[in-house]
Structure 1
């Protein structure tokens, strides 16, 4: 997906139109659909996008905009609970962080909705929380692909940029009536404690989290080495290794969180 300077410019142009669009009576769905079509036009036939809005109690997501998703997959107003088995967006809202489902067919967070997604040809889904200026989650933004895969570093940066523009549109629609709420559902989600410098790591899950933190640091080192590589082949190999490392990190952290959630529920 060609997330680049052109996408930034297009979204900035879209952003300048938002006040006038709301003033003339356009709905939030209309405005968000225009944002998403801008993204999809640059992403090609492989890409579909959607925005889900979080309910005031922080427990459910409803479809706010999905210009190219078939009605048999989702319709505006459809809602479902956040959690760790209802798909990438439900997990992103529940955990308060991006969730990149590399393969919907095998990802446990798609246990409840995976069959429907696969029937419509979707194989991977990258979801990230949308936050208001105070950091509270108000929804999620997702990109669905018809191929399996993990976003590149450039794509992750572009997703963050898109999410920021979408957040501004949502805030415009709510105007002065919008009051930032504490991120309630985040406080309910299971937290993983990292080992402090003077604490022995005796819990296997805690040890694993510590190793993941080290791996994350090494992935950043690989990126820096790639930028200094003497040949394109070496740079490509280093970047690919960094991407695979981040994919492994994401999968390990998700499995730990799933286990922690099950243990907390007992």
Structure 2
């Protein structure tokens, strides 16, 4: 860089940096480093794209093409990431110097725009939003839009400029949504509408604000929020059902899996219980899994190379297989899955609360080869936790039922079997002749007392056994 401009460049209050034609930063000034909280070494040599907001990268690529053509850009807006992860919205003036083939950029943040017009600040703020924003005229033509809206539509700047909002296929607008726009424009009424975008299989929330003959529209992807709501509702419903004595564990688990499959239509879910000896798998639930396939899993031994579920139970850890046909864990079992078009299987163990044993394995199958994303890993974790609650609560119910049965047995023994030998012994004692100890009748009475005492001992031993079982159960609970 020309030394004549070095001092101006270094001490300017404006953000200033120089990069080469590939976007690699060569120089930054103090203002740039101070605002973003990077050191000179941290910035020099990195590509400017690494600092740009993901939603701005396509616009950045397009602006580079415009810069090469026109040699300058004025009023270009982008969001740059600071060291703490926050983004600063910056308006840039950019010049391509053909003498040295370097790009010189000078910018201002919103914080540095004090004194500018209120309209400029509002416009700058709107451009920085993560929500999509557009302004429409009465014919639904797009007058203005921000980078977030462009990212949402996956259209280029050229395609969006002057485009008709109602004709953008990627938004998946339905007739009912379109009618809400017409109502807002006609009645000058602010409206909020939520709908499923069938094109992208995502939920969008639109807020429409009429102003004169135009509409200001904010669009937000609320898919994650909707899914969280659905999962919470599903968990509540399943836990309530599981608390009812007439619902079996298999029924509760099936209800849970069906709910998950409604939220994630591509998932095919299953739950395999692990026996008490931690040796075999038993089918508990799998509403969409082919019955013939489920039948082949029944009684399958767990092991280090037994598909996804058997391996997960053996190692007590999550096993993600994205390609069943070519994964060594499925080498001996690929023939089971192939006829049903199952291409991927992710399995997670359901551990007991004390982490002492594997209660079951939660499996997810897909008809395509794939790995889980963050959202899917989250639902797996939540489902495993709910399954643990379902299984342990039902096991506790079964143990309490067995305990009550044993207590009732003890009560029956106490009220009948215990009283009978005691009454017999007391009656025999009353017949005993104390005046003539050598009386033959006394010997016969002593024999009966001995026999009856042995019966009584057996009854008492039975009570002790049942009591010991109950104490052992309480200790494990």
1:139 is aligned to 2:360: yes
> What does residue 304 of structure 2 align with?
84
Residue 118 of structure 1 aligns to a residue in which SS?
Answer: helix
Quote the Cα distance in structure 2 between the aligned partners of 1:119 and 1:19: 34
Residue 292 of structure 2 aligns to a residue in which SS?
Answer: coil
1:160-206, CA deviations, whole angstroms, 9 ceiling, x for partnerless residues? Answer: 00111111111121115569xxxxxxxxxxxxxxxxxxxxxxxxxxx
Q: Is the 8 A contact 2:344 2:369 kept in 1?
A: yes
> What does residue 11 of structure 1 align with?
234
Q: Deviation of residue 26 (structure 1)?
A: 2.1
> What does residue 63 of structure 1 align with?
283
Residue 140 of structure 1 aligns to a residue in which SS?
Answer: strand
Distance 1:16 1:26, change over 3 A: closer
Residue 390 of structure 2 aligns to a residue in which SS?
Answer: helix
Q: Is the 8 A contact 1:52 1:141 kept in 2?
A: yes
Distance 1:178 1:109, change over 3 A: farther
1:191-236, CA deviations, whole angstroms, 9 ceiling, x for partnerless residues? Answer: xxxxxxxxxxxxxxxxxxxxxxxxxxxxxxxxxxxxxxxxxxxxxx
Residue 75 of structure 1 aligns to a residue in which SS?
Answer: helix
- Trace 1:66-215 onto structure 2 (pairs within 5 A): 66-75=286-295, 78-135=298-355, 136-175=357-396
Q: Deviation of residue 17 (structure 1)?
A: 1.4
Q: Is the 8 A contact 1:130 1:167 kept in 2?
A: yes
Gaps of 5+ in 1: 180-266
Quote the Cα distance in structure 2 between the aligned partners of 1:103 and 1:178: 41
Q: Deviation of residue 154 (structure 1)?
A: 2.2
Quote the Cα distance in structure 2 between the aligned partners of 1:10 and 1:123: 30
Gaps of 5+ in 2: 1-200, 202-222, 401-477
Higher strand share: 2
Distance 1:48 1:170, change over 3 A: same
Q: Deviation of residue 90 (structure 1)?
A: 0.5
1:131-170, CA deviations, whole angstroms, 9 ceiling, x for partnerless residues? Answer: 1111121110011000001101221121000111111111
Quote the Cα distance in structure 1 between the aligned partners of 2:297 and 2:248: 13
TM-score calculated relative to the size of structure 2: 0.35
Q: Is the 8 A contact 1:33 1:66 kept in 2?
A: yes
1:46-86, CA deviations, whole angstroms, 9 ceiling, x for partnerless residues? Answer: 32110001111111111111111111111398111111332
> What does residue 274 of structure 2 align with?
54
Cα RMSD (Å) of the superposition? Answer: 2.2
Q: Is the 8 A contact 2:231 2:260 kept in 1?
A: no
Q: Deviation of residue 19 (structure 1)?
A: 4.2
Q: Which has the higher contact order (CA 8 A, sep 6+)?
A: 1
TM-score calculated relative to the size of structure 1: 0.61
Residue 168 of structure 1 aligns to a residue in which SS?
Answer: helix
1:72-107, CA deviations, whole angstroms, 9 ceiling, x for partnerless residues? Answer: 111398111111332100011111110000100001
> What does residue 26 of structure 1 align with?
247
Quote the Cα distance in structure 1 between the aligned partners of 2:392 and 2:385: 11
Residue 295 of structure 2 aligns to a residue in which SS?
Answer: coil
Number of aligned residue pairs: give it.
Answer: 176
Q: Is the 8 A contact 2:238 2:252 kept in 1?
A: no
Distance 1:163 1:71, change over 3 A: same
1:7-28, CA deviations, whole angstroms, 9 ceiling, x for partnerless residues? Answer: 431333224413443x1x2221
1:103-126, CA deviations, whole angstroms, 9 ceiling, x for partnerless residues? Answer: 000011111211111110100001
Q: Is the 8 A contact 1:18 1:169 kept in 2?
A: no
Quote the Cα distance in structure 2 between the aligned partners of 1:38 and 1:130: 19
> What does residue 258 of structure 2 align with?
37
